[in-house]
Amino acid sequence: MINICKWCQEHGAGKKWYLNAKNYLKETAEKMNAVEYLDVLWGNLERVYTGKTLGMSINKTIGYRLKLPIIGRVIKWIIQRKIEKPKNPNPRIAEGHLGQVIPLEEAKMITTNLAEEVVQAVCPCRYMHRGIKVNTCLGFTALAEVLPKLPRFIPENGVKVLSPDETESFLDKMNQEGKVHTIWMGPLPYIAAMCSCEYPQCMGLRVRMDFDVGVVYKGEYVATLDPNKCIGCGKCVSRCQFGAISFASSINRPIIDVKRCFGCGLCKEVCEEQAINLIDRNTIAITRGMY
């Protein structure tokens, strides 16, 4: 995978890449031809996940191939290079389109302070997997321009620009429902969307969890437990989608495997005792650089 520190230096202006206001600007979208890119990408999302890599059908045989010791590593390397392609990305195969898990606080910061325009969109993952339309994705300036051309991803009440208060209420609702927030480039470094979805329905999280392909990076944080505050209610265990939390009945409290943690913060938000905190993953030796 890419060195995330180098990534933030190139696209984050000294911050996390998704907290750089420049990456949300209309000027950046125009410079990267984001409207044209997103028009093709979102118009062909089904083909992206039913196409072929090295002549192998993604939905039939690639899972087996990715688990082979040598061939699997080669395929992952090729796919990763395509995902992270910085110049002239091909939107028909999702080059230059990647995301990262973010916690609720930063999701609100982005939609309130950084994104110039925020609209709701139908979740492509649920629509393609289950044939249902739920408005759990947020599109920013360039995607807001593209959505009217894509009827299947338009909410029933049409394309509507959300106010900061409406966006914050939406994010709180998604958090209560146990949705993981992810932020998405496309084409990099322009940031086009934020999704609130869950494994295994989220295509990005599914590819990452099932095949360890970096379509979605782990978040900048890991969850840690304060045993002095924990009362052993176990609510956090059921909130984790990544298998990072287990409950130890012998000590009557959960155990967090920081190596498996994606830093989404869902466990933290459900803890009424404030026994769980998110800390920078790079402050822990075993998770440093593990994205």
**Structural contact between residues 259 and 223, judged by C-beta atoms closer than 8 angstroms:** no
CATH number of 221-287: 3.30.70.20
Q: Where are the domains of the chain?
A: 4-217, 221-287
pLDDT tens for residues 27-39? 999 999 999 999 9
pLDDT in tens, the chain (291 residues): 455 666 666 666 667 899 999 999 999 999 999 999 999 999 887 776 655 544 445 555 666 677 777 887 888 888 888 888 878 888 888 888 889 999 999 999 999 999 999 999 999 888 887 788 999 999 999 999 999 999 999 998 889 899 999 999 999 999 999 999 999 998 988 999 999 999 988 888 988 898 888 889 999 999 999 999 999 999 999 999 999 999 999 999 999 999 999 999 999 999 999 999 999 999 999 999 889
Kindly report whether the global pTM for this prediction surpasses the value 0.85. Answer: yes
Single-letter residue type at 238: S
pLDDT tens for residues 231-274? 999 999 999 999 999 999 999 999 999 999 999 999 999 999 99
**Structural contact between residues 103 and 181, judged by C-beta atoms closer than 8 angstroms:** yes
